[in-house]
Amino acid sequence: MFLHGGWRCGSTYIWNRFRESADTVCFYEPFHETLSRCTAKKIARDTTLTWNSRHPELKSPYRHEYLPLLRMAGLRGVRGYRDTFAVAEYFPQKSANPKQADYLWRLIEEAHRQGKRAVFGFSRSLARAPAVKRAFGGWHFVIRRNLRQQWLSCRSYRVEEGAAYFELCHFLILALAPIESPAGRYARYLGLPCPRPGRFREQFRFMQEALGSWSDELSYRAFVGVNQLSHDAAAAVADLTIDIDRMSSDSRYRTDLRAHIFARTGLEIRFEDCRVGGHDTSDIAFDFAAVESDVVSSLKACGANVRAPHERSSMSVA
C-alpha cells in the first residue's frame, strides 16, 4: 500500500494509523534524504520529541522499521537508497529509474520476511505516483489538505523558528526538475537558480545561500506550482483521495473512509482522533486567489495540463 502526500498535510497521522495494525510494516518517508546517512543511533534519536513536529506521539522512532535494512557495520544509510531519491528525482525523467524500484522492492521483501504487508508513507512521491503504480500495482492513497493551510504550516516554521526547510525543499524540487518539463520551465519562470549535480545537503545549502530571503508570495507561488503538478499526476492513479480537513471535522466522512479502506485492504484503520489545526491568514499581504489563478495560467503556459485547486473533489474512490 502506498500513501502519497506532501509536507504538512496530515500524512504522518495517516501513516501512524496504518502503523498500529499488527499486519503491516510501515516505512516512513522512504525517499527522505536522511536515509542515506542514518545509523541505528540516529534512528533511535529521531522522534516526535526531538523537534516541534506537531505530529501525534509515536510508539517507536519514525524510522524504526529501517533497522534491519541498514548497511553493514562501519557504513551509514539504508541499503539500496540513493541521495538523489529525495528531491532531485521528484519530477521523474521520461525514462524510468530502476534503482528506485529495486530499493522499494527491498523494503517490500523485508515486510514479507516478517509475514506482513508493506505500507509506504511518502511525502516526496506525488509526482512519481504513476511510475510507482506501474512498477508495483497495489493500492494508492492520496492525502490532501487545504492548499493555503498546508502552505501556512510550512511557512510557520520559518516565521516562528527560523527554519525554512519545507519552503526551501519546494524551491529545490522545481529547480532540479528536468529542464524541458513543465516544472523545469516554471522554475525558470520564477527565476530560481539551478544547483549543480551533487548531494542533497550541498544542493540545499546552495539554494539557501542563493535565495537568501524571499517573499511570502514567491514561496506560495513555488508551493502551489509543486502542489498542482504533483496532485494532477497522482490523481490519475489514486484509488482513494481524501481530504484531511474534512476527515478532521466530519464523523460520517471518517466512517465512510474506514469502510472503504477495510473493503479494499481488509485492514481495520480508525480515525476518530483526527484533528487538524488552522493558521491565521491576517498577516498575509498578497491575494491567495489571485496568485493561485496566476500560477495555474503560468503552468499552462509552461506546458502543463493542470486544473484550478477548487476543481478537485474532496474525496473520490476509484
* Structural domain that includes position 45: 2-317
pLDDT tens digits for range 75-85: 899 999 999 99
Average pLDDT across the chain, whole number: 94
Q: Is the pLDDT of residue 185 over 70?
A: yes
- pTM for the model stands at 0.94
As for how many domains the chain has, the answer is 1
pLDDT tens digits for range 58-109: 999 999 999 999 998 768 999 999 999 999 999 998 766 899 999 999 999 9
Compute the average pLDDT of residues 222-227: 98
For residue 285, name the pLDDT band (cuts at 50, 70, 90): very high
> For a pLDDT cut of 90, what percent of the chain falls above it?
90
The CATH number of whichever domain residue 304 belongs to comes to: 3.40.50
Three-class HEC string of the chain: CEEECCCCCCHHHHHHHHHCCCCEEEEECCCCHHHHCCCHHHHHHCCCCCCCCCCCCCCCCCCHHHHHHECCCCCCCECCCCHHHCCCCCCCCCCCCHHHHHHHHHHHHHHHHCCCEEEEEECCCHHHHHHHHHHHCCCEEEEECCHHHHHHHHHHHHHHHCCCHHHHHHHHHHHCCCCCCHHHHHHHHHCCCCCCCCCHHHHHHHHHHHHCCCCHHHHHHHHHHHHHHHHHHHHCCCCEEEEHHHHHHCHHHHHHHHHHHHHHHCCCCCCCCCCCCCCCCCCCCCCHHHHHHHHHHHHHHCCCCCCCHHHCCCCEEC
pLDDT tens digits for range 236-284: 999 999 999 999 999 999 999 999 999 999 999 999 999 998 999 999 9
Compute the average pLDDT of residues 285-309: 94
